[in-house]
Amino acid sequence: MKERKITRRELLERTIASCAACTFVPFLLASGDERIAKVTDAGIEAGTMTFDLTDPAYSPLRKTGGAVYANIEGESQPVIIHRVSESEVAVFSSRCTHAGCKVELPKAGEVVCHCHNSVFDGAGKRLRGPASRDLKRFEARIQQDSIVVNLS
Ligand code: FES
């Protein structure tokens, strides 16, 4: 096999190309940090978003008390989807109504914002703390192996 020497210019071009590729890798990896909503083929309806519970990303929602963050259209911060009971689900913004911090996932039926210790119930209703309003809530229902969220 014949070896070919690389020119200084080629080396520089290859280095720039690999740096450009490295620039985009963190963005691709970052998209895996949040559980991104998927619209299932069967669940497309105007003004709704459907989360497939057979998707491992949403497996915590198969059990009562399970909760995940998820991105939905039109919201700059993720929502929290919380399986309140076998037949009920609550969906509400993770953006605290006090000063906008991201609230924690529900634990023992309460959602805490650690910025200034506001506390909400498992459906996003304000219980105590400096926040004066409930978290923004969305209508949602369980439909077979999916959760359907009304976006309006
Ligand atoms: S931002 Fe949540 S309590 Fe202040």
CATH of the domain at 104: 2.102.10.10
Looking at the CA of residue 116, tell me the nearest atom of ligand 1.
3
pLDDT at 2 over 80: no
pLDDT at 118: 98
How many whole angstroms separate alpha carbon 62 and alpha carbon 60? 5
Residue 7 in domain: no
Residue 81 in domain: yes
Ligand 1 pocket, mutate which of 110, 118, 120, 132 (most atoms under 8 A from CB): 118
Residue 32 in domain: no
Residue 12 in domain: no
Q: Structural domain of residue 85, as residue ranges?
A: 41-150
Residue 142 in domain: yes
Under a CB-based contact definition with an 8 Å cutoff, are residues 83 and 61 in contact? yes
pLDDT at 44 over 60: no
Phi, then psi, of 7 in degrees rounded to 5: -80, 165
Residue 49 in domain: yes
Q: Which of 11-25, 74-88, 108-122 has the lowest mean pLDDT?
A: 11-25
Distance 112 CA to ligand 1 centre (A): 9
Residue 70 in domain: yes
Distance 132 CA to ligand 1 centre (A): 10
- Number of folded domains in the chain? 1
pTM: 0.72
pLDDT at 46: 76
